[in-house]
Amino acid sequence: MASAEPSRKAGYGRHVSEPPAALGGGGRPRLGPRLEGALRAAVGEGHLLTDPDLTASYERDWTGRYGGPAAAVVRPGTTDEVAAVLRVLSAESVAVVPQGGNTGLVGGGVPRAGEVVLSLRRLRGDVHVDPEDRLLEAGAGTTLAEAQQAAREVGLEVGLDLAARDAATLGGMVATNAGGVRVVRHGPLRRRLAGLEAVLADGTVVDRRGGLLKDNVGYDLPGLFAGSEGTLAVVTRVLLRLEPLPASRVAAFVALRAPEALGTPGAGRATATALQVGREILRLGGIEVLEVVYPPGVRLVCEHAGLPAPPDPGADAWLLVEATGDDEVTTARLGALLDAHPLVSATAVALDAPGRAALFAYRERHTEAIARLGVAHKLDVAVPLSRLARLAAEVVDAVAARWPDAATVLFGHLGDGNLHVNVVGPPPDDDEVDALVLGIVLAHGGSVSAEHGVGVARLPFVSRARHPGDLAAMRAVKRALDPRGVLNPGVLIPAG
């Protein structure tokens, strides 16, 4: 069976490990008849998958970059079944990888070396919305899109959105403290979380579903489990705080011309310009989205995704803005600001849903357009806003100096100081790209994973990103809640 100890040899990136010898030969790890029987008894005959044809889709992430063999996939349908599964596996120190919609980008939700995958997808059932207290409660396998739909039906919204909304599950979003384009207004998932139910490694159910706006009784376990990447508990139910649906929304795609005063041409000067205009926009209030894109990415989406030319095709950067309000005050103010601004060269505005979607496409289709170029090194970094322009300049220059033919495409969440850095050209296995970019980020006091999490992909950088005492405290919490180390070993916490 799989070792409970995080292995230093666990495969990161594309280097998928061999199944450990203890798992037996024949190329595939198996649990053995006794354990398989116990799991079948826990979840029902049809929900323990061991046939490679059935387990394959659970064993590799959607980018194809991370994954490995699973000893089995188990699909519990209730909290009690999750607890029963964990009791069985914990007693035998079998490693478990909790998996939601398998939309992660850092290999934190796929097996590495013969673990059991515990899929959340059957933890569903009705989505319950309480309009008066503005709460939503749903099983952890509910998708974001389903939660959004249930909220909208009573005039409320989740306040959180992701491109992966149709597959990403609420449980996975809690486990990764998911972000997205609306964080600038509503915060990441941890701030939307009103409570949860989760199961510890030993099968103990933690029920913290009060949903109160204020409750200073005890440790913030929901906040601790949020972002813990399945290493502390398996989330089974999720309570989210809802927001009123705004009566109106306006989207703007704003072309910027960077003034010479802000430095040499390029990503740094463009970012400095975007920040200057972005700050003025945020001051208007009611801003839900404030994203930035640059010429290399906009050229790509126009070429590969067939979008029409953007406003001012010669701009140095563009902002994607969404403002909401219960009347036209915000819209009028935004228009007045943009019309008169000396750094704004052109603006496209949309008030209706199809028009807004057309503007959002310039941002949202970046991922797809970049994929046309080749397999990208994808980094998700944040620095203080005061450092963002320098970071952008230094990353682009450093990559160009090392790999003159590489394409570096930046885009991201300007208001959060969070850029997605995509580098296409160097071989996908070349770890030097990550080391180069993240080294610059760390030198600026930044985060090596602003929203995607650590998973296995960023594990080698955690010891540089966190201080020794901080790591010691994290390890102590991990050992306390999962003493046998069965929950997602090899993820988030570096071997100590």
Q: 243 to 262, contacts with its own copies by CB under 8 A? A: 244
Residue from 325, 426, 485, 490 that binds its own copies (CB under 8 A)? 325
**Interaction between residue 340 and its own copies (CB under 8 A):** no
Q: Which is nearer to its own copies, 9 or 479 (CB)?
A: 479
CB of 476 to its own copies, least distance (A): 4
**Interaction between residue 133 and its own copies (CB under 8 A):** yes
* Listed ranges 155-163, 198-206, 291-299, 365-373: which one lies at the site for its own copies (CB under 8 A): 198-206
Neighbouring CB atoms inside 10 A of 25's CB total 8
Does an H or E element contain 82, and which?
helix 79-91
Contacts of 91 (CB under 8 A, 6+ apart): none
* Listed ranges 60-68, 234-242, 300-308, 449-457: which one lies at the site for its own copies (CB under 8 A): 449-457
Site residues for its own copies, window 294-323 (CB under 8 A)? none
**Interaction between residue 40 and its own copies (CB under 8 A):** no
**Interaction between residue 130 and its own copies (CB under 8 A):** yes
Site residues for its own copies, window 405-434 (CB under 8 A)? 413, 416-418
**Interaction between residue 273 and its own copies (CB under 8 A):** no
Q: Which is nearer to its own copies, 1 or 118 (CB)?
A: 118
**Interaction between residue 335 and its own copies (CB under 8 A):** no
* Listed ranges 259-267, 361-369, 376-384, 429-437: which one lies at the site for its own copies (CB under 8 A): 376-384
Q: Across-strand partners of 120? A: none
Amino acid sitting at position 116: V
Long-range contacts of 35-40 (CB under 8 A, 24+ apart): 35/1, 35/88, 35/89, 35/92, 35/94, 36/72, 38/88, 39/72, 39/74, 39/85, 39/88, 39/89, 39/116
Residue with tokens 């070349």: 430
Q: Do residues 190 and 170 make contact, with C-beta atoms less than 8 angstroms apart?
A: no
**Interaction between residue 435 and its own copies (CB under 8 A):** no
Mark 305-334 as b/e (b = at least 16 C-beta within 10 Å). eebeebbbeebbbbbbbbbbbeeeebbebb
* Listed ranges 39-47, 110-118, 201-209, 257-265: which one lies at the site for its own copies (CB under 8 A): 201-209
Q: Which is nearer to its own copies, 178 or 376 (CB)?
A: 178
**Interaction between residue 398 and its own copies (CB under 8 A):** no
**Interaction between residue 201 and its own copies (CB under 8 A):** no
Q: Which is nearer to its own copies, 218 or 342 (CB)?
A: 218
**Interaction between residue 180 and its own copies (CB under 8 A):** no
**Interaction between residue 141 and its own copies (CB under 8 A):** no
Residue from 221, 302, 371, 400 that binds its own copies (CB under 8 A)? 221
**Residue 192 is encoded by which pair of tokens?**
């939307």
- What is the three-class DSSP state of 113? coil
Cα atoms in the Cβ-side hemisphere of radius 13 Å centred on 196: 28
Nearest alpha carbon to residue 366 among 425, 275, 297, 423: 297
Site residues for its own copies, window 7-36 (CB under 8 A)? none
Residue from 38, 140, 168, 206 that binds its own copies (CB under 8 A)? 206
Whole-Å CA distances, 299 to 71, 314, 315, 321: 44, 10, 11, 19
Q: Do residues 306 and 358 make contact, with C-beta atoms less than 8 angstroms apart?
A: no
**Interaction between residue 438 and its own copies (CB under 8 A):** no
SS3 content of the chain, % helix, strand, coil (to 5): 35, 20, 45
